[in-house]
Amino acid sequence: MNGFMKKVLILLSLCLVFPLFAEENYNFELYTMSGKLLSTSEIMRKPEAKYLIVDFFAMSCEPCKRSLPLWDEFYKANKSKGFEFILVSLPEQGDRKKYEKRLKAYFKENKFGFTMVFDKYSVYGKKFGAVEADGSVNVPMIFILDKSGKILFKADSFDAAMSKIKTLE
């Protein structure tokens, strides 16, 4: 085997092996409804933060809405145990400005103790797989991340997420 072929084989081997060790980082930055930039990596730098629960949500999703008081209760009871929680609202088809107004009104009426952000252009919804290429949303979709931003678990309902979260406590 000549020197060129050896180099090609080594390069190919590295390309095949390296992805096995690469871990995708799912940290993100989005604006809250009050206009404050929220960074998940900043949240997870807090010494007491151990896990971040990210719940993708849409106003048209009734199971999503029903789980909000449950998440609120969980977050209040478990924040001191290192659990952080962020609700990521995804846009629905149509006018994003109107949707954002509906969203603000809903959360003004329904006070929750957790932070909610709006993924206006579905950038992170697509990265996490909660939004398809055609813009359709797959919700509820819940992720539990570790301190580094790595996904530990994925769930498609509040109950499924809770059963996975209980393994962390």
CATH number at residue 161: 3.40.30.10
Rounded to two decimals, the pTM is: 0.83
Q: Tell me, yes or no, whether 129 lies in a domain.
A: yes
State the pLDDT confidence band at 75, using cuts at 50, 70 and 90: very high
Distance CA 122, CA 132 (A): 9
Q: Tell me, yes or no, whether 88 lies in a domain.
A: yes
- How many independent structural domains does the chain possess? 1
Q: Tell me, yes or no, whether 160 lies in a domain.
A: yes
Q: Tell me, yes or no, whether 4 lies in a domain.
A: no
Distance CA 27, CA 52 (A): 10
Amino acid 80 reads S
State the pLDDT confidence band at 92, using cuts at 50, 70 and 90: confident
Q: Tell me, yes or no, whether 6 lies in a domain.
A: no
Q: Tell me, yes or no, whether 17 lies in a domain.
A: no
Q: Tell me, yes or no, whether 13 lies in a domain.
A: no
What's the pLDDT score for residue 20? Answer: 35
Q: Is the predicted pLDDT of residue 155 greater than 70, yes or no?
A: yes
Per residue in 122-146, pLDDT (tens digit) is 999 999 999 998 888 999 999 999 9
pLDDT > 70 in the chain, percent:
85
What's the pLDDT score for residue 18? Answer: 39
The two beta strands, 115-118 and 83-89, are parallel
Whole domain around residue 93: which residue ranges? 24-165
The two beta strands, 37-39 and 29-31, are antiparallel
Report the mean per-residue pLDDT for the chain. Answer: 87
Q: Tell me, yes or no, whether 11 lies in a domain.
A: no
Distance CA 76, CA 53 (A): 13
